[in-house]
Amino acid sequence: MHSSPSINDQLIMQCEQFEQLLQRLQQREYHVLGPTVRNQAIVYDTLTSIADLPKGYTDEQDGGSYRLKQRHDDAFFGYAVGPHSWKQFLHPPITRIWRAKRDGSSFHIAKEDKGIPKYAFIGVRSCELHAIAIQDRVFLQGACTDPGYQERRQDLFIVAINCGQAGGTCFCASMQTGPRATFGYDLALTEIVDTRQHFFVVHIGTELGAEMMDGLVCQQASPDDLQRDEQIVACTAQTMGRQMATSPVELKGLLARNLEHPRWEEVAGRCLSCTNCTMVCPTCFCTTVEDVIDLAGEETERVRKWDSCFNLDFSYLYGGSVRASAKSRYRQWMTHKLSTWYDQFGSSGCVGCGRCITWCPVAIDITEEVRAIYDSEQKE
Amino acid sequence: MVSDAKPKLAVWKFTSCDGCQLSLLDCEEELLPLAKEVEIANFREASRAVIKGPYALSLVEGSVTTAEEVERIQHIRSVSKRVVTIGACATAGGIQALRNFKDVQEFSALVYASPQYIETLSTSTPIAQHITVDFELQGCPINKRQLLEVITAYLHDIKPTIPAYSVCVECKQRGTICVMVAHGTPCLGPVTHAGCGALCPAYNRGCYGCYGPKETPNLVSLSRQCRHMGMSTDQIRRELQTFNAYAEPFRRESLSYEK
Ligand code: SF4
Ligand code: SF4
Ligand code: SF4
Ligand code: SF4
């Protein structure tokens, strides 16, 4: 007898059914996005089938270094997060907010025809679920919400993946944001691959998730399967490439107490103010708006672009930039992420994904910077 | 007459390759609208006709390398309401500023059969070293979109939107994979002024700094990393001594590697 799957069910899905799941999402008019190899890195882009996934690839990550490598098996998700994050779809780098045309001495605003696709994200990591939840708070909570974000976000279908290995710069375990997906997904997968078999344990998170699995030939997961699932994720948690010196809540006070620490000056000597750390960070949300007008002054448009607290104009007030020194800009970034974010949004702004460490051209490491300040307090 | 009311635009050439002026001609679709808004009063690359000043906006290409140019730039300033310098030559001295690091007589002797006919200054200097400049548009060559932005802004009396941040910003905005981190290719993007749209990294090569220094560039840290990635000090010096060699931050760093 066929019984329909429901929330909290745990199923076994073979690769064939995984393919069927992707096809089904496409049939339901989802724009399916997920990891794929481009230009020697694993990026997020359109998936048409599971053949587009980085099967058999992994990455080696360290401060300022990322290398794509071959695995010894056919795992689809055997790597950590790469240069891209889901932010680029939910909070795109460049968006036109409105256009206006002159109309005599007045003007009228042309409505944007949105045409926002319905997204399905495949392979969302636990740290990224936390990052999406953080951006949800930024854009959707409180009096002012972002209608564009709202629209892109509301129909999102999320297939999470529980990490089967930690990257060289991952530290979700110490930020309490991973490596197991615990909320915010429609389906969460754990990939099990060895010489004899290759399948997924599927955790159903929502009604919609259950509906998507309905009719795919899947068995209930056995206690053995679930135990393997547990072991894999526990092992990931124990092999984090990086670790924060103390808990997220402690970090808040630690940095607040050390705004004049000599370490800020030291890191400013290395920091390029290049903005890479903020651009790759899945929670950084700052933007600037640029007005573009045509030569005749007949048409204008307002464009929103990702901005960064490392840019001088970011803190420009009449007469100059408030944060003119690299020291004040780096300090702003790190204390916002780890400390003042709590005051603003009620949580840490860092999910321990490690991107800022890997993609900093000069290998500045947020965990190392924290440790330097932490250690100096221990010595006192 | 209506056309008399149109602001006059002039384009002036100093020591340069003409590439930046060409960016203006390159604005094919926008050229006619531009001609509607301004009177193109002096633009030798497009027309021999020259209309007398004063000019509302002068675009100056090229660096100062001769005694005649020292005089001429003063005159241009005096007949122009606004002066905008365009390109690496005008804003930093250009590739020809390599002479500033060496003896120009030696260069002349190597290049010309009869060097005695060459009249030149011993240095190539940016326009802003001689006159007050209202805006400097960097790039080798400049980006035509940015040029239009500057012209449009001055026509409408607003500040041009030309961000002075790094090439990395544009690189990340377009989703390019960082060549420095993922390929181990040294890249000047983190110290270079945005504007090109991060062209080189998009084609898998490092930025070579043709837009010149960005705001607050940290050359010391980036070259330390380049050495770490295997570049020799001489390679770094050569990398910095190109189109923007004489721009202060690049010059200071490259000189620290001169024997
Ligand atoms: S601060 Fe760094 S580790 Fe934390 S979420 Fe941002 S990119 Fe990831
Ligand atoms: S930080 Fe944690 S959840 Fe994120 S990729 Fe690394 S192991 Fe996975
Ligand atoms: S910390 Fe690194 S990535 Fe961030 S601005 Fe400084 S040099 Fe760039
Ligand atoms: S490739 Fe170059 S310009 Fe692009 S992010 Fe990396 S260092 Fe910056």
Question: pLDDT tens, B123-152?
Answer: 999 999 999 999 999 999 999 999 999 999
Residues of chain A with pLDDT under 70: 1-2
For ligand 4, mutation pick of B169, B183, B193, B207 (most atoms within 8 Å of CB): B207
Indicate the pairing of strand A41-46 with strand A57-62.
unpaired
Asked, for residue A3, whether it belongs to a domain, the answer is: no
Residue of B nearest to A325 (CA): B216
Asked, for residue A144, whether it belongs to a domain, the answer is: yes
Residues A168, A293, single domain; the answer is no
A9: amino acid identity, one letter: D
Nearest to B210 by CA among B181, B250, B170, B253: B250
Per-residue pLDDT at B3 exceeds 70: no
Q: Assign B114 a pLDDT band (cuts: 50, 70, 90).
A: very high
Are the beta carbons of A273 and B220 separated by less than 8 Å? no
- The mean predicted confidence, pLDDT, of chain B is 95
pLDDT score recorded for residue B4: 55
Tokens of A13: 């899905």
Burial status of residue A240 (CB atoms within 10 A of its CB: 0-12, 13-18, 19 or more): buried
pLDDT score recorded for residue B189: 98
Q: Assign B204 a pLDDT band (cuts: 50, 70, 90).
A: very high
Residues A63, A181, single domain; the answer is yes
Please report residues of B whose CB lies closer than 8 A to that of A361: 168, 178, 180-181, 187, 189-190, 222, 225
- Would you give the end-to-end CA distance of chain A in angstroms? 68
Asked, for residue A132, whether it belongs to a domain, the answer is: yes
Q: What average pLDDT does range B47-55 have in this prediction?
A: 89
Q: At what angle do helices A263-270 and A326-335 cross, to 10 degrees?
A: 110
Ligand 2 touching residue A126 (CB < 6 A): yes
pLDDT score recorded for residue B259: 66
Residues A287, A168, single domain; the answer is no
The string of DSSP letters for B86-122 reads EHHHHHH--GGGGGGGS-HHHHHHHH-S-GGG----S
Residues A223, A253, single domain; the answer is no
Asked, for residue A44, whether it belongs to a domain, the answer is: yes
Residues A170, A284, single domain; the answer is no
Residues A32, A125, single domain; the answer is yes
Residues A234, A253, single domain; the answer is no
**DSSP state, residue A66:** E
Residue A87: domain span = 10-238
List A220's β-bridge partners, or say none. Answer: A11
Are the beta carbons of B181 and A297 separated by less than 8 Å? no
Q: Identify the domain boundary among A180, A206, A238.
A: A238
Per-residue pLDDT at B2 exceeds 70: no
**What is the three-class DSSP state of B63?**
strand
Q: Identify the domain boundary among A238, A267, A282.
A: A238
Please report residues of B whose CB lies closer than 8 A to that of A326: 216, 218
Residue A276 distance to chain B (closest CA, Å): 7
* Measured CA angle at A339 (ends A338, A341), to 5 deg: 85
Instruction: Encode pLDDT of B205-229 as tens digits.
Output: 999 999 999 999 999 999 999 999 9
pLDDT score recorded for residue A208: 98
Q: Which of residues 43-72 of B touch A (CB under 8 A)?
A: none
Q: Which of residues 275-334 of A touch B (CB under 8 A)?
A: 275-276, 279-280, 290-297, 305-306, 308, 310-313, 326
pLDDT score recorded for residue B47: 83
Q: Identify the domain boundary among A187, A214, A238.
A: A238
Residues A267, A118, single domain; the answer is no
Residues A198, A289, single domain; the answer is no
* Measured CA angle at A37 (ends A31, A41), to 5 deg: 120
Q: Distance from the CA of A274 to the center of ligand 4, in angstroms? A: 9
Residue B181 touches partner A, C-beta closer than 8 Å: yes
Q: Which residue has the higher pLDDT, B6 or B3?
A: B6
Residues A232, A294, single domain; the answer is no
| Element holding B237 (H helix, E strand) | helix B233-240
Ligand 2 touching residue A170 (CB < 6 A): yes
pLDDT score recorded for residue A3: 78
Residues A149, A96, single domain; the answer is yes
Please report residues of B whose CB lies closer than 8 A to that of A38: 177
pLDDT score recorded for residue B1: 42
pLDDT score recorded for residue A292: 92
List A35's β-bridge partners, or say none. Answer: A44
Query: Which domains, ranges and CATH numbers included, belong to chain B?
Result: 8-155 (3.40.50.700), 167-255 (no CATH)
Residue A257 touches partner B, C-beta closer than 8 Å: no
Please report residues of A whose CB lies closer than 8 A to that of B163: 311, 313
pLDDT score recorded for residue B236: 97
Residues A120, A253, single domain; the answer is no
Q: How many domains does chain A have?
A: 2
